[in-house]
Amino acid sequence: QPDPAPQPDPVPQPDPAPQPDPAPQPDPAPQPDPAPQPELPAENIKRRISASTAAVLNMAAVQPLVFDAELESVRERLQARKMAGRDDPLWMTQYNTRNNVSTSAGAEFKQTLGGLIMGIDRLSQYEKSSGTLGAFFSYSHSNIGFSRGGEGYVDSYSFGAYAGLQHESGFYLDSIAKANLFDNNVKGRMNNGGAADGDYRTWGIGAHLESGIRLSNNNWSATPYMAFTGFTGSARKYALSNGMQADVDTTRMLRAEAGLGMDYRLILSNGGELQPWLKISARQELADNNQVTINNRDRFNNDLSGMRGVFQTGVHAKITDNLTGHLSAGYGDGAGVQSPWRATVGMSWSF
């Protein structure tokens, strides 16, 4: 058989026409970042809240200031015991102070406080130390001027006890416990000028503990020390005459303090004595959650935490063998409270 006829090669097929690359898609236009919202300063907050809300916040911030003003006079009494070492068991001090206060929650006011404290104590001598044990009662009245209009008043009645122990090495330990009854009267204003009045009563308790060492050289003495102070005021709900409902939570103060005191004893030719002194201290307020609720809805925090510097000076004078007098003045600033002045005058007697 003859070979089969050869088959022709298949007609070559042309390559498919190349497809063009798809047109590139442009990146989406970038979206601008949202405009940052500025933080509102405290001044704007104070303009936003109503005047009657500010009045409630003002009154809620007063109690720790009253407690502290009264406490200072007892601290000065224990200081005088260490400086003089005489047994003059009856004592009395009249004290006045001014506080200008501002909080980020919206409280802003000026407080002028005047008070009187009376006490009795006993100085006991031991083999290598001496001890003081005493009790006191005080009354103070505060006028509070609200920056948004209106005013308030606080009458404070307090009583307490104190104890001090001083070793011959100079080491000492002081303690004070105090209870307060506060009668609060609010005479606030609304934004339209109408009255927003109210009154309520609260209780408070607190304590102070201080330790240091008194270093003496001839008639000079220096006293570095550390101290802790705590206060708790009772919670209270009340209503203003405009219908506003106020719910003031427990008010707290918790403070750590470090300072240095110095004094000089000058003996006069007539047998009297003068003992000028000064003290500087740094006080760190730790409590930062004092809540106030308005109309069961709006919550505020009267935060007065932070560092505060205090400068105090005064003089003790032995007038006779049975009579001693003292004067003091002070200034403080920081943590939302400026105290442009504090002044005291007092006497102590022995028999």
Of 87-91, 148-152, 224-228, 343-347, the poorest mean pLDDT is in 87-91
pLDDT more than 90, % of the chain: 78
> How confident is the model over 250-266, as a mean pLDDT?
97
Of 192 and 140, the structure prediction assigns the larger pLDDT to 140
Please give the model's pTM, rounded to 2 decimal places. 0.85
Nearest one of 158, 231, 232, 237 to 200, comparing CA atoms: 237
Q: What is the 3-state secondary structure (H, E, C) of the chain?
A: CCCCCCCCCCCCCCCCCCCCCCCCCCCCCCCCCCCCCCCCCHHHHHHHCCHHHHHHHHHHCCHHHHHHHHHHHHHHHHHHHHHHCCCCCEEEEEEEEEEEEECCCCCEEEEEEEEEEEEEEEEEECCCEEEEEEEEEEEEEEEEEECCCEEEEEEEEEEEEEEEEEECCCEEEEEEEEEEEEEEEEEEECCCCCEEEEEEEEEEEEEEEEEEECEEECCEEEEEEEEEEEEEECCEEEECCCCCEEEECCEEEEEEEEEEEEEECEECCCCCEEEEEEEEEEEEECCCCCEEEECCCEEEECCCCEEEEEEEEEEEEEEECCEEEEEEEEEEEECCEEEEEEEEEEEEECC
**pLDDT above 70: residue 5:** no
**What average pLDDT does the segment 21-48 reach?**
54
What confidence score (pLDDT) does residue 328 get? 98
Domains delineated in the chain: 60-349 (2.40.128.130)
- CA–CA separation, 195 vs 174, rounded Å? 46
Answer yes or no: is pLDDT of 90 > 70. Answer: yes
Q: Is residue 104 over pLDDT 90?
A: no
pLDDT score of 270: 85
Ranges 24-28, 168-172, 307-311: which has the least confidence:
24-28
Flag the least confident range among 17-31, 153-167, 206-220, 262-276. 17-31
Predicted confidence band at 87 (pLDDT cuts at 50, 70, 90)?
confident
pLDDT at 38: 43
Higher-confidence position of 37 and 273: 273
Mean pLDDT within 49-56? 95
Check residue 134 and give its pLDDT: 97
Give the integer Cα–Cα distance in Å for 279 and 332.
12
Mean pLDDT of 125-131: 93
Residue 269: band (very low, low, confident or very high) from pLDDT cuts 50, 70, 90: confident
Amino acid 45: pLDDT = 53
